[in-house]
């Protein structure tokens, strides 16, 4: 009886797992920001944004000039004319705000579209790498608190991506 209890306790106490599952993690943000194709997306979006911001600044300056001019003429011009010009400036301001909001929305949509294109090209690369290296699970780095550096597959994936994808087509 004692032997049986000892045997049961021994097995429960020393229950060891001998299987090893390969797990890895990847930093997609690093790949998106440091790959040639990811940098080309960021540059393309930044160039569009900078060009349009200059246009918005010009519109904003014109509105402010007209507003200041109207304020300086407030006591000189007729009240009906003044109110109509105030309404006109308000309409221009509202149009400016809606144009700016629609531009920001469209630029975000473009960024998402081109990022998804890159991710579509990145997905088979990751799948092949996982298959070749018998990795069972790949987790995003932002979900990992701490992990061994040898489990990080970001750099090898980045190198493979650099060899296979150099450019994203922005004309589609």
Number of C-beta neighbours around residue 41 at 10 A: 21
- Residue 11 has a pLDDT of 55
Q: Are 152 and 28 in contact (CB under 8 A)?
A: no
Section 87-95 average pLDDT: 94
CATH fold for domain 14-164 = Protein Binding, DinI Protein; Chain A (3.30.910)
At 165, the pLDDT band (50, 70, 90 cuts) reads: confident
The pLDDT of residue 7 is above 80 = no
Supply the pTM of this predicted model: 0.74
The pLDDT of residue 15 is above 60 = no
Q: Give the domain ranges of the chain.
A: 14-164
At 126, the pLDDT band (50, 70, 90 cuts) reads: very high
User: Between the CA of residue 42 and those of 30, 143, 163, what are the distances in Å?
Assistant: 13, 24, 19
pLDDT tens, 16-46? 444 567 889 999 999 999 999 999 999 999 9
- 3-class DSSP state of 129: helix
Q: Which strand (E) or helix (H) includes residue 53?
A: helix 36-72
């Amino acid at each position: 009886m004692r032997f049986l209890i000892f045997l049961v306790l021994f097995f429960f106490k020393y229950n060891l797992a001998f299987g090893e599952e390969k797990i890895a993690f990847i930093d997609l943000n690093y790949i998106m920001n440091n790959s040639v194709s990811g940098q080309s997306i960021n540059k393309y979006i930044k160039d569009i944004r900078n060009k349009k911001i200059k246009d918005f600044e010009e519109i904003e300056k014109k509105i402010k000039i007209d507003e200041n001019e109207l304020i300086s003429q407030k006591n000189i011009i007729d009240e009906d004319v003044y109110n109509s010009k105030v309404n006109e400036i308000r309409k221009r301001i509202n149009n400016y705000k809606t144009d700016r909001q629609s531009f920001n929305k469209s630029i975000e949509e473009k960024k998402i579209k081109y990022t998804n294109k890159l991710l579509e090209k990145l997905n088979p690369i990751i799948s092949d790498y996982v298959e070749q290296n018998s990795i069972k699970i790949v987790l995003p780095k932002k979900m990992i608190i701490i992990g061994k550096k040898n489990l990080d597959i970001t750099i090898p994936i980045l190198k493979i991506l650099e060899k296979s994808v150099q450019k994203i087509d922005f004309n589609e």
